[in-house]
Structures are given as C-alpha cells and as structure tokens.
Amino acid sequence: MTGPTAPNVLVNWGVFYDGYNPAQQMNDGEAVPFAFENVSGTAIRKATDPTIVLAPNQTYMVDYTVTGTLQQTNTDYGMAIYHNGNPLFSTASNVDTFNNTAPTEGTFTGSGIITTGGGLNTIRLQLLTTPAGRSIELDNSNMRVVKIV
C-alpha cells in the first residue's frame, strides 16, 4: 500500500558568486561581476555578466554578501540591488571610512523581496560611493535568488 503521490514542485533558485583571485578592482557605478553560478529551474538565469534575469509576474527573495578592501578614506561606500535599472533602497548596505585609515576591509550585506512585472526583469548588485568616483577591491561576493511565489 502506498500513500498519495505529492505533486512535483519545481524549485527555482540561483546562487551567483566569485572568489576573485587576485582581488578585482570595482569602481563607483559598476555592478558586481559573478564568474560562477548554480541555478535550478527556469525562472532565474544569468544573462551577460553581471545581469541576472527573472521571470515575469513572480516574487523573489534576494540576499547578498560582498567583502572587499575599501580604497579611500572619508568615503561612504554603498551596495544595493537594482531592479530594471532602479535602486531598491531597502536592499542597501553601507560602510564608511570616515574614522578609518584606508585601505580597510569592509563587508556589505543586504536582502529584499522583489516582485516582477510583465516583460523583461533584470537585477544587478551595484556599488555607489559618496563622493563619486571611488573604488574597492573585491575579495568575495555572492548573491542568492529564490522564487517564493
């Protein structure tokens, strides 16, 4: 005797990451590159690096961690996820060097829920600095994307 058969559930998730050996220079306004990926399902895929494409009309949980060497003093460094070119400020993470000497190590972490609309939906993890034009050397990065609805 067997029990009821459960429906097949396709779990859609993706992990995008890099260990940057040697460390990689990243400038203000650039998106974090990911050399490696592990993806399950069809709702998440990597397009041209560093752009990730999400299926339309879905909801996703996204989180990230980036470590790197902050190159300049008196700077506010920020990372945020951009959806279709627009920053999602609720995903932002900031590290500043106002009271530190540079170079110094910094870690950025953030997460958020993204609901996609119809058509093409892209996300990127991007660096912003104040003042503009500053840089970091990337040591490690990862971003996880899971379709939740």
pLDDT in tens, 37-65: 999 999 999 998 899 999 999 999 999 99
What token pair was written down for 13? 């998730």
Q: What is the pLDDT of residue 70?
A: 92
The CATH class given to the 22-147 domain equals mainly beta
Cα separation, 108 vs 13, in Å, equals 21
Q: Is residue 22 very low, low, confident or very high in pLDDT (cuts 50, 70, 90)?
A: confident
Would you list the DSSP string of 73-140? Answer: SS-EEEEEEEETTEE-GGG-EEEE-TTS-SSEEEEEEEEEEEE--SS-EEEEEEEEEESTT-EEEEEE
Q: What is the pLDDT of residue 1?
A: 64
pTM of the model: 0.89
Residue 119, burial from CB neighbour count under 10 angstroms (0-12, 13-18, 19+): exposed
Residue 7 has pLDDT above 70, yes or no: no
